[in-house]
Chains A and B, each alone.
Chain A
Amino acid sequence: MTTSEALEHHGALSYLEERGRYGGILGWIFSTDHKRIGILYLVSTLFFFFVGMSLGFLMRLQMLSPHGELFKNADYYNALFTLHGVVMVFLFIIPAIPGSLGNFFMPIMIGAKDVAFPRLNLLSWWLYVMGAVIALASLFGSGLPDTGWTFYAPYSLRTHADVPMAVFGVFVLGFSSILTGINFITTMHRMRAPGMGWFKMPLFPWALYATSWVQVLATPVLGITMLLIFVERIFHVGIFNPAMGGDPLLYQHLFWMYSHPAVYIMILPAMGLISEMIPTFAHRTIFGYGAIVWSSMGIALLGSLVWAHHMFTSGLSDAAATVFSLLTFLVAVPSAIKVFNWTATLYKGSIALEPPMLYALSFIFLFSVGGLTGLILGALALNVMLHDTYFVVAHFHYVIFGGAAFAFFGALHYWLPKMFGRMYNRSAAYIGWALLFTGFNLLYFTMFVLGVMGMPRRYAFYLPRFQTSHVIATVGSWIMIAGILVVFTNLIVSVFKGEKAGENPWGGVTLEWQIPSPPPTENFLEPPTIPEKAYDFEGAFAS
C-alpha cells in the first residue's frame, strides 16, 4: 500500500495539509501539533543560523589584514563577535536540535501522539521568539553590544551597550529551554506506547532525555546569573563588581555552571542523531546500546561538574584547578566510549554511504578532533598557554559546529523525506557536503595553528606575523559558506519540488519509518508495532 493510499484509506490528512482551528500562517504559529512546532523551530533556528553565519563571514573578512580589512574601529568587530556568539549559541545551537527534530521525532519514535503538554510546547516556541526579539532589540539601545556572548563582569557592568536588555532576552530564552526540557522528560515518562520499555527506546529519545535533565537543572543558574547582572546594573548593588565589594570570579562560576553544561545541551542530542543514522545506513543494530545510553547519562552528570575548566587562569585556587582538570579528563571517557561503539557498529554492517551517513561519519572525525583538542586544553600546563587564544575558538567550533551542527545537517538529510515526503538531489547533497567539509577544516584547523602561535581571540586587529594563517582561514570560510549555500538550496528546493520519497527510503526500523511520509496529524493510523528489541534489523528483515 503506498502512502497516499494509506492516507486515503484512513481518511487522514498529513500534518502539512490538516487544517486546524486556523488556516494559513496562523495555523502554524498557533498550532499545538508537535510536528508543526518542530517545523517552526526548524525555520526559526535556521534563520538565526544564517544570521550568525553572515556575521561570522564579516568577522573573517575583517581578519584579512592586520589593521582590519573592514573596520578601523574595533567597536564594529566587537559587536560582530558578540552577536555571532549570542545568536549561534542561544538562538541556534541550543534550541535547534531539541526544538526542531526533537519535537518532531521524539514523540513518534516512542509511539506517542504528541508531547505531554502540547500547549506548553507552543509557549516554549513563543518564549523563544520573544527572547530573540528582546535580545535583538538591545542592539537599538544605548550602544553596540560589545561584551562577547559571555557577558563577563565587571566589563559588562560598565559598557555603554544595552546589557540589561540583552541579558533579559537570554533570561527569557532560558525559560523556553527549561519548559522544553520539562515537557520532554514528562513525555518520555508518561507517553511511551504500550510495549515501548525504557530500554527499547531509540537512542535519540534517550539522548534528549539526558539533555532535558541538563536543561531543567542547569538553565535556572543562567536565569539567576542574568538576573543578578540586571540587578547590579539597574540598582547598583555590588555583586560582581569589585569596586563595589563584589567578586568578578563569582560571575564566571555562575556563568559557566550553566554554560558548560550547555555545551552538552548542544552535543548530546547530536550524539543521539548519530546513533540513529549509523545503524540505519549500516543496516544492523547499534553496537553497545546500553553503553551508549549510560554514557549519555554519564556525560550529563559529569558534564555538570567541570565548569571551572574555563577559569584555570583566572586566579582560581590551585586545589580547585586540579580537581576541575581531573574531572575534565574523566568526562572525556563517556564520549570516547560512544565513538568506539559507533565505529564498531560499522563492523559487519551493510553500509550505504548516503549523504546522511557521510555527515555521521564526518561527525565522528570532527568531534574526535574537537574532543582530543579538549584534552590539550584540559591539561593545566597547556591551558595556561592556550587559554583565550584561537586554539579555544577552533576547539569549540570543532565540537559544536563539526559535531552538533554536522549531525544536525546530516539528520536533516536523513529525515527530510519523512518530514516532507520528498527526496533531495543526491549529487547536490554530496557536492555541498564536500565543500562544507573542506572549507570547515581549512577554516578551523588553521585556527589551531594560530592559537599555538599565540594569537589571542577577540582581536579586531593583530600582529602581522599572524596574517598568512588568517588569510587561509578566511578563504576556508568562503569555501565553507559556498557549501552551506549548496546544502540548503538543495534541501529547500526539495521540500517543494523534490521527488516523492516513500515511507521508508533508507530501510530504517525505528517507529517513524512505519508511518506515512509526511506523517498524519495523529502520527499513527494504527497502533504501532513495537519491535522486540531496539534497532532489530534481523527481525525486521526476516519478516
Chain B
Amino acid sequence: MNPASTTLTESVSHVFIYIVALSALFLVGITATMIYFVVRYSRSRNPRPKDIHGNVALEATWTIIPTLLFLSMFYFGWTRWERMREVPRDAMQVEVTGRQWSWSFKYPNGKVSSELRLPIDTPVRCDLRSLDVIHGFFIPAFGVKEDVVPGKHNFAWFDPTELGTYDLLCSSYCGQGHPLMMARVVIMPGDKFKEWYSTREAASGPAHGELLYKTKGCIGCHSITGIRIVGPTWKGLYGSEVTVSTNGQTRTVKADDDYLKRSILDPNADIVQGFPPSVMPVQKDLTAQDVSDVIAYIKTLK
C-alpha cells in the first residue's frame, strides 16, 4: 500500500492500521493464553482436572465486547468508503474501456490514449465500460479498484497527489491475456498534461494506425517485438509467408495488403497455423481508412 499517493489512500490506511492492530492484539492474547494454559495445566503439572461447565458473565463479556469492536471496524470501513463513492463535482471524466486484453482511455475532448495520463492534484472520475467480459480496474498504488462489468456503468474516482508512473492492472480474471492486461498511469504536472491533452493525434497514415493498434485492443494480443502473446506478432509480418488454414485446408499465403485486410475484417477466414480460431474479435468499428492505416503501421514493423 502506498499511503500518500491520493488523498483517499491515507484515510484508508488508518482503517487498515486500526483493524490490523486490534486483530494482532486478539491473536497474541489468544495464543499466549493458550500456551500458558497448555504449560500450566499440562498433565504432569496438573494431573487432576476440574470440570468447569461455563460462566454466564464470561460468555456475556466475550460476546458483547467483540461485537462492539467489530461494529466499530464496520463503521470506520464504511465511512471511509462512503467518501470513495462520492465523486467531487469538478472531477475530470475519463471513459475507461476494458476489453480482452487491453485498456483504452477516452478524454472529454475526444482524445484517445492507451495510457491513463492525468494531471496531479485533480480529481478524476473513471467511467468503466467493458466490451466483452468482466474486467477489474485496479491501480494498486492508489488502492482503487472497481469491476468493469459489461452492460453496467460502474465508476471509480481518485485524486493523485504524487507525480510518477503507476501500474493499472486487471484484477478480475478475464481469460488468457488476463495477467498481461496492463496499462501505465502517468501523473503529470498540470501544464505538461495540458500540453499533451491539446496535441491532436495524426488522423491517418501509420501514426494513426499505431494509435488504433494501441487503443482498439490489438495490442492485447499482438506484439510488435516478436514475442507471442495470444495472436501472432506483427514484427516482420508484412510481406512474409504465412501458413494458414482456410476452410480446413492448409496453405501458404504472402502477407500483403489483401491478406491483412481479410485477416482484420474476417478473422476466421484464414486461421494462422498454431493459433486458435474465434479468439480474434471481429472488428466492427474500424472504417476502411482505419484498416488501411493499421496495415500501413504493420508495414513499418520490420
Q: Is B70 located at the chain interface by the 8 A CB criterion?
A: yes
B196 at the interface (CB under 8 A from A): no
Given contacts A375-B70, A379-B73, A384-B143, contact A314 B149 (CB under 8 A): yes
Q: Which residues of A contact B67 (CB under 8 A)?
A: 330, 333
B85–chain A nearest beta-carbon distance, Å: 6
A29 lies within 8 A of chain B by Cβ: no
Are B54 and A364 interface neighbours, CB within 8 A? Answer: no
Cβ of B250 < 8 Å from any Cβ of A?
A: no
Let me know if A326 and B136 touch, CB within 8 A: no
A247-B151, A459-B179 in contact; A332/B70 too (CB < 8 A)?
yes
Residues of B23-58 at the interface with A, using a CB-CB cut-off of 8 Å, are 23, 26-27, 30-31, 33-34, 37-38, 41-43, 46-55, 58
Q: Which residue of A148, A247, A282 contacts B49 across the interface (Cβ within 8 Å)?
A: A282
Closest chain A residue to B54 by CB distance?
Answer: A288
- Cβ A350 vs Cβ B140 within 8 A: no
**Is A152 an interface position by the 8 A CB rule?**
yes
Number of A-B contacts (CB under 8 A): 266
Nearest-CB distance from B178 to chain A (Å)? Answer: 6
B164 to chain A, nearest CB (A): 14
Contact mask for chain A residues 117-137; partner B; CB cutoff 8 A; 1 contact, 0 none = 000000000000000000000
Total A residues in contact with B, Cβ cutoff 8 Å: 91
Contact with B along A264-295 (1 / 0, CB 8 A): 00000000000000000011110111110000
- Measured between alpha carbons, how far is A369 from B82 in the docked complex, in Å? 27
Shortest Cβ distance from A318 into chain B, in angstroms? 6
**Which of A154, A287, A384, A536 is within 8 Å of B52, CB to CB?**
A287
A351 and B50 CA atoms in complex are apart in Å by 11
A202 at the binding interface (Cβ < 8 Å): no
A349 CB–B CB distance under 8 Å: yes
Inside 8 A of B70's CB, which chain A residues have their CB?
A: 329-330, 332-333, 375
Q: Measured between C-beta atoms, what is the minimum distance from B281 to chain A in Å?
A: 11
Complex contacts, B177 vs chain A, CB 8 Å: 74
Q: Contact check, B38 vs A329: say whether CB atoms are below 8 A apart.
A: no
Q: Cβ of A456 < 8 Å from any Cβ of B?
A: yes
The CA-CA distance from A20 to B8 in the complex, in Å, is 69
A383 to B12, CA, bound (A): 10
**B175 CB within 8 Å of chain A:** yes
- Check B66–A332 contact: CB distance below 8 A: yes
State whether the Cβ of A16 lies closer than 8 Å to any Cβ in chain B: no
Q: Is the CB of A336 within 8 A of B62?
A: yes
Cα–Cα distance between A388 and B138 once the two chains are bound (Å): 10
Given contacts A343-B34, A372-B27, contact A348 B46 (CB under 8 A): yes
- Are A351 and B42 also in contact (CB < 8 A) when A379-B73, A456-B136 are? yes
Instruction: Report whether A347 and B149 are in contact in the complex, using a CB–CB cutoff of 8 Å.
Output: no
Chain A CB within 8 A of B115 CB? no
Query: B47's contact among A339, A350, A376, A535, by CB below 8 Å, is which?
Result: A350
Contacts of A160 in B (CB 8 A): 276, 278
Whole-angstrom distance between the Cβ of B155 and the nearest chain A Cβ: 9
With beta carbons under 8 angstroms apart, the residue of B27, B34, B146, B151 that contacts A248 is B151
Write the chain B residue with the least CB distance to A462. Answer: B179
- Could you say which residues of chain B place their CB within 8 Å of the CB of A431? none
- Whether B91 sits at the interface, judged by CB under 8 Å, is no
Q: CB of A368 within 8 A of chain B?
A: yes
Give per-residue flags for A340-373: 1 if the beta carbon is below 8 A from chain B beta carbons, else 0.
1101101111111100000001001100110011
Interface residues of A in 447-474 (CB under 8 A from B): 452-454, 456-463
Q: Mark B70-102, 1 if CB is under 8 A from A, else 0.
A: 110110111011101100000000000000000
Contacts of A332 in B (CB 8 A): 66, 70
Chain A residues with CB below 8 A from B30, complex form: 339, 343, 364-365, 368
Cβ–Cβ < 8 Å partners of B134 in chain A: 152, 154-155, 248, 314
15 A-B residue pairings within 8 Å (CB atoms): A74-B178, A287-B55, A288-B59, A315-B147, A318-B85, A348-B49, A351-B37, A351-B38, A368-B26, A369-B27, A376-B20, A378-B73, A382-B19, A456-B138, A463-B167
